[in-house]
Structure 1
């Protein structure tokens, strides 16, 4: 693989079609309702019991309190409820065998920083530190769970590798993560999805236990005794128009459309429209197969950073 000519910045096409856009694809807002689960409010107690009985819930974080139940909540001595936040986190531990598979699916290594959003007693973060030597951050709303997680980390002798933050999964800074683990409802995943796509670096791996991300299809899926594990790799934003010079001296030009990690588009060599036969996006790396008029295939790898192409390599 040789380095091709310096890539031009994203620019509108010249007499080759519609002007490319630089908007972020598929980052539309998803529904923002959130139910509240308390031990003393009947409708939500029933909902929680059903989820736990089915074994589908690890840590449910329901934040916005419905006003109609505010008077009931205020009468409960063991519930802390602010104007917007209800602090009550039903928790079902993740089995050790599932944790092992999650870490394997993410290919966690010592250089990773793993964030577990809704970490409960911290077992995923601690397992990553013990088994892989990875640094970890657990995010949890319940201060008692945070205290348990810290104690568990000390017992496991990995307190120098992990930390636990008492904060909402919707506000905590996640930009430092290279791996994110989730065990939430699909509706919560969908609420998180815009943040995951916009705030995590391209190439960050996301692992979800049991719940998908709607129309963002997983890059990998694993079944374990009837349990689904999903893996996504955060894609770079590559939609737009890009131009570079190949090793053969020709100018190559593409207009790309993006839906998550799925890429389509049109290609030109010089002023001749040719076939873009394959486009594969993996994190910050986009591989393009461009077929010329003589059916010869030219393979390029474009490396993206901060919404721009930083380098182009050509297979020879």
Structure 2
């Protein structure tokens, strides 16, 4: 999103926890300001002079912080700071069908944040996503290439994954389209894919067979229940709860016809999952062939012709 906003002529400021990790954003032309959603006093200064906010923050599995600390407490602090700073537009990323899973912490928090934002008085646009194509590389692509197990949970829900580059198009376009103000839109891919379909596609593109391991949803529920007994396990339990969405069998998808019309974007230019994975595997397979060729080339260089005493003896006898 930062890359696209810069390319379209916007002056971009990025709130970052680590300037070192975000150095590439500065190289692109973005201004970096240190801050943290957990510390509201860092937000006011960061928002000085800012007219539009695109909120792409969220807690990650590798973080020590809980979903509630980042995706609720942090979001509330950011929305309040944006309101105080006089921000003209606030773009928020939610999850499709969040209102249908009140027992799943992340989904319920997204639903509550939508309501809080709508009642804040800010001019907003909410984009409800289904899933990122980029996440499929680690979930399916790499394990299949490395002959590692691919984990599938329960009755997998078909999900309309979208390339983050395409999501960025909608986010940046929302800033300049008046019809998107104070509205909520689904932003999803061209079609929904089940785990089995994605695995079959990866097998075909990579030429390798997948080692599929199914994890019973009942077992994950039991583990989640056990984690809830310990305070240190609450964050893990909350994340395991999201498997209820992935294993429900209910399709995570929505019609995008009206959305494309309002945003003035061409659906034919949206990346399909087939083309995204095909490009990934083509690049990887090409790289693997190059590495294998270079390896064999270096090996041949190291191998010197062997001199045998038999050849020397034969030459001496002929003389």
Sort the TM-score into its range (normalised by shorter chain).
under 0.3
TM-score by length of 1: 0.27
Larger Rg computed on CA atoms: 2
Higher percent of residues as strand:
1
Greater RCO (CA < 8 Å, at least 6 residues apart): 1
TM-score by length of 2: 0.26
Higher percent of residues as helix:
2
